[in-house]
Amino acid sequence: MDTSLTPLVESLQARFGAQPAEFRGEVTLVLAPDQLIGAAQALRDEFGFKMMIDGTAVDYFPQTQPRFHLVYHLLNLDTNLILTLRVPVAGDDPHSPTLETVYPGANWYEREVWDLFGIRFDGHSDMRRIIMPPDWQGHPLRKDYPLHYEEVQFSFNADEINARKPYAKE
């Protein structure tokens, strides 16, 4: 881990219960949804992470608790350091507080995540579709979203799936 991030990580662990992880020199902090806003404000105001450069989600279907992870990338413009925040979100009623109050640019990323994954952001100023048509049913980046041209293959019946593969018919 970059030694300049050590005080930041220790502070967020103590104050917000952040769980740090490092992979190939990149630091990720896993936070509970109720700690997200406070941690983001501390990162912006105390540690200089003034810019949110990305916000997206990951779907871990068929796992349901948590099914999703929100992923935010924050940038410190003075040191050119990037920090990743991950927020686990349950699959039965996916929602999280909006980061729009801390990073106004989160508005667009959160609308995209709502549109494509169906995760709601509590307190968001304009939660409506941004990519799909307004009357679209469903959220197309969910792993259980029906593709309509082929059967969803996320099943526990591996024998049946393998029998459908072209190379299995020998």
- H/E stretch holding 163: helix 158-164
Asked if pLDDT for residue 3 goes beyond 90, the answer is no
Residue 22 CB: number of other CB atoms within 10 A? 12
Q: Work out the average pLDDT over 99-126.
A: 94
pLDDT at 116 over 80: yes
Under the banding of pLDDT at 50, 70 and 90, the label for residue 53 is very high
Q: For residues 161 and 108, which has the higher predicted lDDT (pLDDT)?
A: 108
> For the chain, what is the mean pLDDT?
87
% helix, strand, coil for the chain, step of 5 = 30, 25, 45
Whether 117 shows a pLDDT value over 90: the answer reads: yes
What pLDDT is attached to residue 147? 67
66 prior amide bond cis, ω within 30: yes
Report all structural domains of the chain as residue ranges with CATH numbers, in order of start. Answer: 3-142 (3.30.460.80)
pLDDT band of residue 20 (cuts 50, 70, 90) is very high
**Which pLDDT score is estimated for 1?**
60
Mean pLDDT for 74-80 is 93
